[in-house]
């Protein structure tokens, strides 16, 4: 079941498209959602992070984190603009 979930995460395939090598997709999805509800995936991830950090000679828990964000200007304020696809207006010339 865990291998089926890891396959889904790695490939991004849909539940119903799981290869026949894995259990029925309904069973795998029930297993996944039950584990998610119980917090199993979060516990596994935290354990893997601390184990990896220890193996790399770092402290078990990170002391800081970086968050990347991007600002996007909205078009709701300001003048109306359009896109003409680089077309020339009537009467315009290259010279």
pLDDT of 70: 76
| pLDDT tens sequence across 11-39 | 999 999 999 999 999 999 999 999 999 99
Question: Does the pLDDT of residue 85 top 80, yes or no?
Answer: no
Angstrom distance (rounded) from CA 75 to CA 82: 11
Can you give the pTM of this predicted structure?
Answer: 0.57
* Residues 84, 85, 90, 94, CA torsion sign: positive
Mean pLDDT of 47-71: 86
pLDDT of 39: 96
Question: Over pLDDT 70: what percentage of the chain?
Answer: 75
Mean pLDDT of 51-74: 83
- Number of Cβ within a 10 Å radius of residue 29: 16
Q: Which residue has the higher pLDDT, 91 or 35?
A: 35
Q: Which two three-digit tokens encode residue 69?
A: 């964000």
Residue 77 CB contacts under 8 Å (≥ 6 apart), including other chains: none
């Amino acid at each position: 079941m865990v291998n089926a979930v890891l396959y889904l995460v790695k490939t991004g395939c849909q539940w119903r498209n799981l290869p026949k090598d894995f259990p029925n997709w309904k069973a795998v999805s029930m297993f996944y959602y039950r584990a998610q509800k119980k917090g199993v995936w979060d516990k596994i991830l935290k354990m893997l992070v601390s184990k990896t950090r220890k193996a790399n000679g770092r402290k078990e828990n990170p002391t800081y984190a970086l968050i990347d964000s991007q600002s996007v200007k909205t078009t709701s304020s300001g003048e109306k603009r359009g896109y003409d696809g680089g077309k020339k207006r009537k009467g315009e010339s290259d010279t």
